[in-house]
Amino acid sequence: MTAIVQKLEQNRDQMTEWFEHMHRHPELSMQETSTADYIAETLGGFGAYEIETGVGKNGIVASLKAGEGGAAIGLRADFDALPIQEQNDLPYKSSSAGVGHLCGHDGHATMLLGAAKYLAETKNFNGTVRLIFQPGEETMQGAPAMIDDGLFERFPVDAVFGMHNIPGLEAGKFYFRPGEMMASVDNWEVEVIGKGGHGGVPEQTIDPVVAGSSIVMAIQSIVSRNVAPANRAVVTIGAFLAGNAGNAVAGSAILRFSVRTTTPEDREMVLGNIRRIVSHQAQSFGCTFEIHEGVPGAVLVNDPEETEKAVGIARAAFGDEQVVYPGPPFLASEDFAFMLQKKRGTYCFLGGGPGKMVHHPEYVFNRELLPVGAAYWAALTEGYLR
């Protein structure tokens, strides 16, 4: 165990307390008022930070300057939860029905709080560190909201850094990749509108479930027949909502899409084909439709130079064997991509070891990572702000 991890290990009990509190009290994206209050109160207890709340609605920026250096970095962690019912029998399981920290954002916020405490006590750096606690990552709203609220104008940084736990990657190892690392995402909702009625007289109805089913099947051909095999894309229809009774034809059906692409050209092509298929399939069954487009996504692109710096700092802090470079890309998405469009920086994965993937109802954040992730943030601050 390296010296900086040993130092952060001393705060394990306190970090575990913070983590379990946030896990018990999850809040949905852009509704995280109590979580934001808890984070701000915890930061205030360290007695060293200038704390600004309400940035982009629920965001928090805590700034700490040491020495006379003029450089500044931003360290970002998210803290929103998912609309998924947790199916774990944990002593600290979610107390909110249908809402759970099943992506590990409670762990991310805890690791940054752990680093915050360490940095406030040691101040072993020369410059300014800004801790960015961001709401609304799951809906791609939080980063744009903070940026639109003047994040980088009000709290200037030379570079910004992010991190995410990933189950299935070796526990405690850091994975870095220059350039494109994560996909853009477009979250759409399509409403197929028919004519409801009795299930025994289908001739008097227009069935949106049949039309919606045809849309689901037709859309499966978009990636396989239109995206070059060398590229990566995926269209997921994660929700199909219609009706409440087996003997009635619903009046409408809702389809919720997640569209992930890695090039601007593929994004435009895939979205265009979805529009075309929805229109033609709905009309062929006599239905009308409405498409509700969500926040446009962005490919997460790491700056090669800042990635090299972060890799060097991580190797010095944790050892060569704990750093994988280049690491794998991932077709999940991240609104940290919007921050990287404004500032240089890099985003890395922290291996979570065996277990269910994030967003699974039985996902469990590996709490052994808490001092490791906190140590990375502390090492990055000390290494970048020498």
Nearest to 193 by CA among 136, 278, 262: 278
pLDDT digits (tens, 9 = 90+) for 66-83: 999 999 999 999 999 999
CATH code for residues 3-178+303-384 = 3.40.630.10
What are the backbone dihedrals phi and psi of residue 193, each rounded to the nearest 5 degrees, phi first? Answer: -110, 120
103 belongs to an annotated ligand binding site = yes
pLDDT digits (tens, 9 = 90+) for 273-301: 999 999 999 999 999 999 999 878 889 99
Please pick, among 27, 78, 80, 186, the residue that the annotation labels catalytic: 80
287 belongs to an annotated ligand binding site = no
Domain borders along the chain are: 3-178+303-384, 183-293
Nearest to 372 by CA among 326, 307, 322: 322
Please pick, among 137, 191, 306, 335, the residue that the annotation labels catalytic: 137
164 belongs to an annotated ligand binding site = yes
| 137 is a catalytic site residue | yes
Tell me, what's the pLDDT at 277? 97
pTM to 2 decimals? Answer: 0.90
As a whole number of Å, the CA-based R_g of the chain is 23
Tell me the C-alpha distance between 270 and 279, whole Å: 14
Beta strands (DSSP E) in 14-134 are 50-55, 59-66, 72-78, 127-134
Dmax (CA) for the chain in angstroms is 79
280 belongs to an annotated ligand binding site = no
Nearest to 128 by CA among 72, 198, 169, 82: 72
105 belongs to an annotated ligand binding site = yes
| 80 is a catalytic site residue | yes
Tell me, what's the pLDDT at 359? 97
pLDDT digits (tens, 9 = 90+) for 326-335: 999 999 999 9
In CATH, which of 3.40.1360.10, 3.40.630.30, 3.30.910.10, 3.30.70.360 is domain 183-293? 3.30.70.360
Q: Residue 259 above 80 pLDDT?
A: yes
